Amino acid sequence: MLIDSHAHLDDEKFDEDREQVIESLKKSGIDLIINPGSDLNTSIKAVSLAQKHENIYAAVGVHPHSAAEMDYSTLDILKSFARRDKVVAIGEIGLDYYYDNSPRDIQRKWFREQLNLAKEVGLPVIIHSRDAAGDTFQILKEAQDGRLIGVMHCYSSSVEMALEYIKLGFYISLAGPVTFKKSKTSKEVAKVVPLDRLLIETDSPYMAPEPYRGRRNEPKYVKYVAETIAELRGISFEELAEKTSENAKKLFRIK
């Protein structure tokens, strides 16, 4: 059984068949799903889904795209949700300098504030970083006081940076791009990251792996990510599935 460590089942692309997708998870070999929020509204939806379904867990947080909409009252609401039983992380949070949907100084401010929130409530973080590796790493390094743990979601930076994140206490999560023929860096990362620091995900409904690239992604397609990484590492699919599931349960403290 696999764990999809990052899927947005609250997304509107699942509005027509969300319950069917969720009901089919076990038959598709998916044990659990971590569903992160990206703003206050989606965080509330993620918590609602987790409360309704035994095999879904939630994370709450504000994505850098929505950082400009955030204030301290939002942070207080996130804090109240973070104390609920099936909320297992603060996320997804971080920096996005590719789209720059929020001013960069505002992104950094609320990234830091949410990292502090995670440490206060004792939860791991789910980190989004796009075209912002230097600032992301520096902020995490400054925030690391022995209490900060988390995962670099849908990792797309260099092998060298991945190893630095691991030294800082983080896990590396790989998604659909590792299956793309031209994703050489992702494939190198898949080979190098220690097996006890590796997670897999879909980032559904985005980033569908081969052979479904360009279509709506679904949690059941995480098996293609797992198969690709297992082949790259020269290990069995079963070993990869077992270890990444063990890692996810350890990080998110799921018994």
In sequence order, the β-bridge partners of residue 30 are 2
Check residue 86 and give its pLDDT.
97
Q: For residue 106, what pLDDT is reported?
A: 98
What pLDDT digit, counting tens, does each position of 2-45 carry?
999 999 999 999 999 999 999 999 999 999 999 999 999 999 99
pLDDT, position 194: 98
DSSP code of residue 103: -
- Report residue 193's pLDDT band, with 50, 70 and 90 as the boundaries: very high
Q: What are residue 34's DSSP bridge partners?
A: 57
Phi, psi (degrees; rounded to nearest 5) at 2: -105, 155
Do the beta carbons of residue 123 and residue 75 sit within 8 Å?
A: no
Summarize the confidence of residues 242-252 as an average pLDDT.
98
Which residues have C-beta within 8 Å of that of residue 13, sequence separation ≥ 6?
205, 216
**What six digits make up the tokens of 247?**
């890692």
Q: How high is the pLDDT of residue 201?
A: 98
* Cα 144 from Cα 55, distance rounded (Å): 31
Tell me the pLDDT tens digit for each residue of 54-92.
999 999 999 999 999 999 999 999 999 999 999 999 999
Domain ranges of the chain: 2-251
227-244: average pLDDT: 98
Residue 53: pLDDT band by 50, 70, 90 thresholds? very high
Q: What residue type is assigned to position 132 of the chain?
A: A
Strand partners, 16: none
Per-residue pLDDT band for 224 (boundaries 50, 70, 90) equals very high
| Tens-digit pLDDT profile for residues 132-191 | 999 999 999 999 999 999 999 999 999 999 999 999 999 999 999 999 999 999 999 999
* Confidence (pLDDT) at 144: 98
pLDDT-based confidence at residue 131 (cuts at 50, 70, 90): very high
The pLDDT, as a whole number, for residue 207 is: 97
Query: Residue 209 and residue 216: Cα distance in Å, rounded?
Result: 10
> Chain-wide mean pLDDT for the chain?
98
> Region 103-129: what's the mean pLDDT?
98
The token pair that represents 245 in the structure block: 């599931």
The pLDDT, as a whole number, for residue 212 is 97
Angle between the 159-167 and 184-192 helix axes, to the nearest 10 degrees?
40
| pLDDT of amino acid 25 | 96
Quote the pLDDT of residue 70.
97
d(C-alpha 237, C-alpha 251), whole Å:
21
The arrangement of secondary structure in 2-251, i.e. its CATH architecture, is Alpha-Beta Barrel (3.20)
The count of other CB atoms within 10 Å of the CB of residue 182 is: 8
